[in-house]
């Protein structure tokens, strides 16, 4: 556990963010290897099927992930206020919430998987593999929720290293199983999904065994789990807007896939493969944003809002530096990176265009994400939710449809809509940050300093 309410702001955030960044690197490394195995050993149809399943999975789990963020913020603020009794109550309440919701989401997702793919008008040739992957993945959802929830709790307590160790082990196991189940056993898309479920289960079980033996605060025991209605209410107040935001963002990603799918399997496969690289590129901004959220949460809990501005400036400087380097790499080497996933010239060309367009504007994405990380850490999630939904549903998706259907840009019009949405979100998020209303949203209340 790490107290982030004292010490140099930039150094604290950097040290906290680096383990998460490394963890994300390993996670995305798995995603890349996963796509490479599918694209190279099964084919572009399977690559499109797995790629299409990803936003569906995100759609099904995003609400719970968003609500979990509310618990994480509550944990970080109580820890900053040194209220360890409330920290333990929040952890127990989160575990109970995740257990029951994972079961509900799994059942609903498996039951309606075919209807979901029909609703987005997925190419019938892709549907069987997409359904197979999705249903197997959802069968192990309780392990995904358990592992990610525990990792989120540890980060709220200022510990970003322990989740990294278990993530590395999980990713390593996943890659090994992928290379056994697909090229050796020839299990196809099912092998990829089974490998994911097994690795997530092993990670969660190992995590619980370790924490029960060595950690002072985070321990898992069915007998000791107790639900606290008041802490649940506070966590839901913060997490519910983020949950809805995540859900509508996920639905937006599905809508974008639907628009992409209108341009054929090649465009779908290109979007799936290039999206893996894009996820890699987004890691620094996402890691530093989560680090800033925890930093802000602890400092608001410790009644140190004066440190928040310095933390924001330091985080923006670091993420902008990362973004500039990543932009150069993706713009210059985009097509070369696409060759890792496929040998199809059309898919490579389409994916290369995506990376050239998107890669030129990562600085917008990183700045927007960091500012939103500050707002979430302060417990202010409602207005950022509306900003995110506006930039996605009112700006990005209509622009994607119009540019791709009504202009000569074709599928590149979809790519251009993404930075347009980022710019919109950044402008409104910055304006709201400058208004300062987020300073009044903390869970732990203090008298205002004069």
pLDDT tier, 241 (very low <50, low <70, confident <90, very high otherwise): confident
Which pLDDT belongs to residue 148? Answer: 85
Residue ranges covered by each domain of the chain: 9-440
CA dist 438 and 425 (Å) reads 17
CA dist 193 and 205 (Å) reads 19
Which pLDDT belongs to residue 415? Answer: 94
The total of other beta-carbon atoms located within 10 Å of residue 210's CB is 14
- Check residues 341 and 291 and name the one with the higher pLDDT: 291
Which pLDDT belongs to residue 418? Answer: 94
What confidence tens digit (pLDDT) does each residue in 385-441 have?
899 889 999 999 999 999 999 998 999 999 999 999 999 999 999 999 999 888 887
CA dist 102 and 420 (Å) reads 35
**386, 350 contact by CB (below 8 A):** no
**181, 194 contact by CB (below 8 A):** yes
pLDDT tier, 444 (very low <50, low <70, confident <90, very high otherwise): low
To which H or E segment does residue 148 belong? helix 141-156
pLDDT tier, 445 (very low <50, low <70, confident <90, very high otherwise): low
To the nearest whole percent, how much of the chain has pLDDT over 70?
97
CA dist 231 and 46 (Å) reads 44
Least confident window among 51-60, 72-81, 223-232, 341-350: 51-60
Q: How far apart are the first and last CA of the chain?
A: 31
What confidence tens digit (pLDDT) does each residue in 109-155 have?
999 988 988 887 777 888 899 999 999 999 999 998 988 888 888 88
Which pLDDT belongs to residue 333? Answer: 93
Mean model confidence pLDDT for the chain: 87
Burial status of residue 174 (CB atoms within 10 A of its CB: 0-12, 13-18, 19 or more): buried
Q: Quick check: 450 pLDDT over 50?
A: no
Which pLDDT belongs to residue 359? Answer: 92
Long-range contacts at 429-432 (CB < 8 A, ≥ 24 apart): 429/368, 429/371, 429/372, 429/375, 429/384, 429/387, 430/367, 430/371, 432/375, 432/383, 432/384, 432/387
Which pLDDT belongs to residue 448? Answer: 46
Q: Quick check: 369 pLDDT over 70?
A: yes
Q: Quick check: 203 pLDDT over 80?
A: yes
Which pLDDT belongs to residue 449? Answer: 44
CA dist 29 and 51 (Å) reads 15
Which pLDDT belongs to residue 446? Answer: 56
Query: What letters, b where the CB count within 10 A reaches 16 and e where it falls short, cover 55-76?
Result: bbbbbbbbbbbbbbbbbbbbbb
CA dist 212 and 244 (Å) reads 33
pLDDT tier, 54 (very low <50, low <70, confident <90, very high otherwise): confident
Which pLDDT belongs to residue 1? Answer: 60
What confidence tens digit (pLDDT) does each residue in 303-320 have?
888 899 999 999 999 999
Mean pLDDT of 311-331: 94
Q: Quick check: 106 pLDDT over 50?
A: yes
Least confident window among 4-18, 32-46, 74-88, 143-157: 32-46
Q: Which two tokens stand for residue 175?
A: 């890659």
The total of other beta-carbon atoms located within 10 Å of residue 434's CB is 8
Least confident window among 32-46, 145-159, 276-290: 32-46
Mean pLDDT of 319-340: 92
3-state secondary structure 61-87: HHHHHHHHHHHHHHHHHHHHCCCHHHH
**CA 391 to each of CA 139, 362, 372, 394, 413: distance values in angstroms, whole numbers, following the listed order:** 33, 16, 13, 6, 16
Mean pLDDT of 163-172: 88
Q: Quick check: 282 pLDDT over 80?
A: yes
CA dist 225 and 97 (Å) reads 11
Q: Which two tokens stand for residue 397?
A: 């998706």
């Amino acid at each position: 556990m790490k107290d982030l309410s004292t010490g140099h702001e930039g150094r604290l955030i950097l040290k906290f963010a680096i383990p998460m960044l490394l963890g994300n690197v390993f996670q995305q490394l798995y995603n890349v290897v996963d796509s490479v195995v599918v694209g190279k050993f099964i084919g572009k149809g399977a690559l499109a099927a797995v790629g299409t399943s990803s936003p569906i999975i995100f759609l099904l789990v995003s609400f719970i992930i968003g609500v979990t963020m509310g618990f994480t913020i509550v944990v970080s603020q109580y820890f900053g206020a040194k209220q360890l009794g409330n920290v333990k109550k929040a952890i127990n309440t989160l575990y109970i919430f995740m257990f029951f919701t994972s079961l509900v989401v799994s059942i609903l997702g498996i039951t309606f998987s075919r209807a979901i793919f029909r609703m987005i008008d997925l190419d019938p040739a892709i549907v069987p593999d997409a359904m197979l992957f999705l249903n197997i993945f959802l069968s192990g959802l309780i392990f995904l929720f358990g592992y990610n929830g525990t990792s989120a709790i540890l980060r709220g307590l200022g510990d970003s290293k322990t989740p990294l160790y278990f993530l590395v082990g999980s990713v390593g196991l996943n890659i090994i199983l992928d290379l056994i189940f697909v090229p050796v056993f020839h299990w196809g898309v099912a092998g990829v999904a089974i490998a994911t479920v097994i690795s997530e289960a092993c990670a969660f079980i190992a995590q619980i065994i370790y924490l029960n033996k060595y950690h002072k605060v985070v321990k898992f025991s069915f007998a000791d789990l107790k639900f606290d209605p008041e802490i649940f209410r506070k966590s839901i107040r913060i997490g519910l807007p983020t949950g809805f935001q995540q859900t509508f963002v996920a639905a937006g990603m599905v809508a974008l896939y639907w628009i992409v799918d209108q341009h054929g399997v090649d465009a779908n496969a290109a979007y799936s493969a290039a999206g893996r690289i894009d996820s890699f590129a987004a890691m620094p901004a996402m890691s530093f944003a989560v680090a800033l959220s925890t930093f802000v949460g602890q400092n608001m809990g410790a009644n140190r809002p004066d440190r928040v501005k310095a933390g924001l400036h330091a985080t923006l400087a670091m993420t902008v530096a990362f973004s500039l380097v990543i932009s150069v790499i993706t713009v210059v080497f985009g097509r070369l990176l696409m060759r890792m996933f496929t040998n199809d010239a059309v898919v490579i060309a389409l994916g290369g265009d995506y990376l050239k367009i998107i890669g030129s504007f990562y600085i917008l994405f990183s700045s927007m994400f960091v500012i939103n990380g500050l707002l979430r850490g302060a417990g202010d999630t409602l207005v950022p939710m509306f900003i995110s939904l506006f930039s996605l549903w009112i700006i990005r998706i209509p622009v994607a449809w119009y540019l791709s259907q009504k202009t000569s840009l074709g599928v590149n019009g979809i790519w251009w809509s993404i930075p347009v949405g980022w710019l919109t979100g950044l402008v409104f998020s910055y304006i709201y940050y400058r208004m300062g209303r987020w300073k009044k949203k903390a869970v732990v209340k203090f008298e205002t300093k004069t």
